[in-house]
Amino acid sequence: MYVMLTQKLSKGFVSWKNMLHDNKDKLEQHGMTCIFASSLKEDDNDMKAIIHFESQEGMMGFKNDTELAKAREDAGALTETTVMTPLSEEAVVNFPSAI
């Protein structure tokens, strides 16, 4: 399942990006793939991401993982602002080619 994640940050995007890379194994355990993530050009603390989870259970595991939530918060994620919006399974990824 695809979701759009929006979230406010307090330490800028690079801190969050480093946390994501540091937690690769844990994200794989939840069946999560980050398709795209970035901050707004005019606001490095306003993040948007497109994420794919292999299952609803994986998404719920990610959402309820307290250890990962702490890592996200330590990296500056204001988790109380996180909104995960389900998207359609009909998607186009890297068409016509990856950037």
Report domain extents, the chain.
2-86
| Closest-CA residue to 32 (of 7, 11, 1) | 1
- The pTM is what? 0.89
Specify the CATH number of the domain 2-86. Answer: 3.30.70.100
For the chain, give the secondary structure using H, E and C.
Answer: CEEEEEEEECCCHHHHHHHHHHCHHHHHHCCEEEEEEEEECCEEEEEEEEEEECCHHHHHHHHHCHHHHHHHHHCCEEEEEEEEEECCCCCCCCCCCCC
Instruction: Write out pLDDT tens, residues 24-37.
Output: 999 999 999 999 99
> For residue 92, what are its two tokens?
């186009």
Instruction: Write out pLDDT tens, residues 34-89.
Output: 999 999 999 999 999 999 999 999 999 998 999 999 999 999 999 999 999 999 99
